[in-house]
Each structure stands twice: as C-alpha cells, then as structure tokens.
Amino acid sequence: MQLEYKILKAIQKVSNKQKLQLHEPFFFGKEKKYLKHCIDTTFVSSKGKYVKKFEAALSKYINAKNIILLNSGTSALHIALLLMGVKSGDEVILPSMTFVATANAVKYCNANPHFVDSEEESLGIDPFALNNWLNKIVIKKGNFSYNKITNKRISAIVPMHTFGHPCKMDELKKISKKFNMRIIEDSAEALGSFYKGKHAGTIGDIGTLSFNGNKTITTGAGGAIITNNDRVAFQVRHIISTAKQNHAYEYIHDKIGYNYRMPNLNASIGLAQFENINKIINSKRKLFQKYNK
C-alpha cells in the first residue's frame, strides 16, 4: 500500500486536487447546440435525426454493419444475451473482475453468473485458466456443454474489456468454438479500442457499448448493440421497441418487449461527443503517459 499511497500523492500534487474522480466528462463541442435543436423541434424522445446520425457515425467508425442505440449498456447486454440464446437456468461465463451490471444482465435472463479468473496482462478473462477449468467441469450433451457439478448448460462467455484493454480474443474464440458457447463482448469501456485491427465488440458473436458519464464518450445514460447480422439487428430493434408490430394504428405486440430505446436528447449529446472522439482518446493516452511517468 505504501507505493500506491506515494503514487496517489504524486498525482494529487500535480493536479492540485486532493480528491480525484476516476473520470470526468468534457463538453467542448456542439452538445448545447444539438440539445437546443431537439427541444426547439420537440423531438426529445425515441424519434429524431440524432439517433440515426449517431448510429451511422458509430457504424462507420467501428466498421460494423449495424449499431442499435439503447438507454444503457446494461440494457444492451440484457438484449444481447437473450438474442444469443441464453435461457433460464443456463450458466454464463463472466470475469471475476467486472462491474455488477455484467452479472445483473445475466440474472435478468434468469441465468446464473459463473465467475472465472482474470489475468494480469489485459485484466480480462484468463483463457489458459478458463480452458483448464472447462476441461475439468464440462460434459457434452449433444451440441452443448454442461457443468457436471451443477448440471446446468453453459451457454455463453462474456469477455469484458476492462478500462478499454481488449481481452485475448483469439484464444477465447477458440475456447468458445471448442465448447460451443456464444461470445457476447462487454465493450462498455472500449470505444476506440482495437484488437488486431478489429474494433472491440466486433470480434465475438455480438458486442455492446456503454455511454454512461464515465465512459470514453457519454450520452448521459445510454448504450449500444454491435452486430454484423441484419436478422439479429432487426430482432434487437423490434424487442427494444416493446415488440410492437409495424402497423398504422393497431397495437399488436408479438412477444415480451422492452422499452429500451435511446431518446433523441441523449443521442444528440452522443453525436456531439463523438465528433471529438479522436481528441478525447488522444487526451486519455497523454494522461496515461503522465501517470506512467
């Protein structure tokens, strides 16, 4: 603890602050202008041009076919798990070092978090330890892997890219294929992070982002699902819009749906923030260099 205390004191001295936040959002773009436009045009809810513009900008930057905005990163994880086939009673592999939202989303599906070791280099799931563990506990039944200790199906792995540091995804993909488990990437903190030329969230079967106030860019509250599968994207948009069938005046809902869409107000802030994404990321990297020094 002595070393950590000295580092903290050194940072406090340089910053002239005794209390430091993990992250402070900065608003130096067109946030106020876009917000005012939302209010002036009355498009403050789920309809409006900023939702589409923000989705399109993210899609181009991430190089993903479909980006769907939601009201939180937790909502995005919940829907991603559902659409990747996580069922009631299943187990889902999670890193032991993650925020509670990752586990909460699993419980929303009435599934069970199965915590595994993290490793030092990326701070993400340790693929070597995971492979050894699954070899010990898995029994195959048909195409699926079951935990012989609990008799529950293990249906998915959720790598979480801690502080934007990508997990060892090549190794995790091999494990997912070996044991027939889907990969849902929790890329909440990883906007602007790339792994071997691919943006975080595009490497597994589906990915999620968060735009909470402590993320790379913020919409106040918000998240997104990343998918290159048009069918999955259609299902996401349907289920987060209360599963209402498209009709001029009838209200027909064909399944349990969720009111998880991102409002235009939040998307307007996100678009303005995104227009300065490179400045924000460069600033973070410079700050890291100062901390490192």
Give pLDDT tens digits for 80-137.
Answer: 999 999 999 999 999 999 999 999 999 999 999 999 999 999 999 999 999 999 999 9
Q: How far, CA to CA in Å, does 67 sit from each of 75, 92, 107, 223? A: 14, 24, 24, 10
Type and span of the H or E element at 224: strand 223-227
Asked if residues 270 and 61 have their Cβ atoms less than 8 Å apart, the reply is no
Q: How far, CA to CA in Å, does 165 sit from each of 67, 195, 268? A: 21, 9, 27
Record the tokens describing residue 109, joined without a space: 């599906």
**Using one digit for the tens of pLDDT, what is the confidence trace for 220-277?**
999 999 999 999 999 999 999 999 998 888 999 999 999 999 999 999 999 999 999 9
Nearest to 116 by CA among 159, 170, 148, 147: 159
CA dist., res. 286 & res. 267, Å (int): 27
Nearest to 274 by CA among 55, 33, 67: 55
Mean pLDDT of 132-143: 97
At 11, the pLDDT band (50, 70, 90 cuts) reads confident
Record the tokens describing residue 250, joined without a space: 């009838």
Record the tokens describing residue 174, joined without a space: 């091999």
Mean pLDDT of 144-165: 97
For residue 144, what are the β-bridge partners?
A: 141
pTM attached to this predicted model: 0.92
Record the tokens describing residue 9, joined without a space: 């004191």
In this predicted structure, what is the pLDDT of residue 1? 62
CA dist., res. 37 & res. 221, Å (int): 19
